[in-house]
Structures are given as structure tokens and as C-alpha cells.
Amino acid sequence: MKIVTAAGKRKSAIARATIRQGKGIVKVNNLILDFYEPKLSRLKIKEPLIIAGDLINKVNINVNVFGGGISSQADASRLAIAKGLVEFSKSDKLKEDFLNYDRNLLVADSRFKESSKPNRHGQARAKRQKSYR
């Protein structure tokens, strides 16, 4: 039995996907994907499954994701699933399909929130207000 693990990161969200031969069951944090909320995140996670097509009916996918926010978790899960499917199938055509659809399916987005500067309040680039009178 073939088992593939893949990881995906987005901001501070980390997702680990385990892909094994099965009947097409997809779970995110032990919750079947059809019940995952919000709907926008569910649709985002389904993108690599739709592109992969018939391969999905032959594998079970279990994703554990933690950290970050709802949207970042969905992006991290999507990345982990896509990487795992490419590794499981060893198909260059599937890899090309993912890259042509959206490069972020296989390549992590490395952008991060800019850290706040010391001795300043508020946003990272906010300057102190000064008075001329």
C-alpha cells in the first residue's frame, strides 16, 4: 500500500496531507470536506481535487492543519493536497495542469505580515504623529 505525505505552508498556517489508496474520501482535521466551513475555503481546497479528475476516486486524503486564520489554512491545505497528488501519481501532466491553473498550487507563497517596529504603536510602517504648535 502506497502512502505519501506532503506539507504546505501559508503565513503561519501549516498543513500536512496524507494520501493513501482508497475510495475518494477527503478529510480536513477529521471532518469530511463536504461539511467544512466556510464554503469559500471548501471551494478553495477542492480546486486541486477537481483538476486531478479521476485520480481522486482512487485515493483517500487526510489533512491536518493548524495555525493561522481560516483563509491561510485553506491555502496551506490546498498546497499540501496538490503536492501530495503530484508525488502520488508521479505524473508530469498533472504537474503541468496544476502549474497552468495556478502556480500557488505547487509553489508556496512566502509573503508574511511585516513585523511591528520597537517603540512604536500601531501598524508596522506607521510614523509618530508630530505637532508643529
Mean pLDDT of 21-26: 92
Domains of the chain in start order, with CATH, are 3-103 (3.30.230.10)
Residue range 99-127: mean pLDDT, rounded? 87
* The pLDDT value given to residue 122: 80
**Distances in Å between the alpha carbon of 57 and those of 21, 32, 85, 108, 126?**
9, 15, 12, 26, 51
In this prediction, residue 129 carries a pLDDT of 82
pLDDT at 54 over 90: no
Mean pLDDT calculated for residue range 54-71:
93
pLDDT digits (tens, 9 = 90+) for 29-49: 999 999 998 999 999 999 999
Which three cell numbers mark 113?
Answer: 505580515
pLDDT confidence of residue 75: 94
pLDDT at 91 over 90: no
Per-residue pLDDT at 102 exceeds 90: no
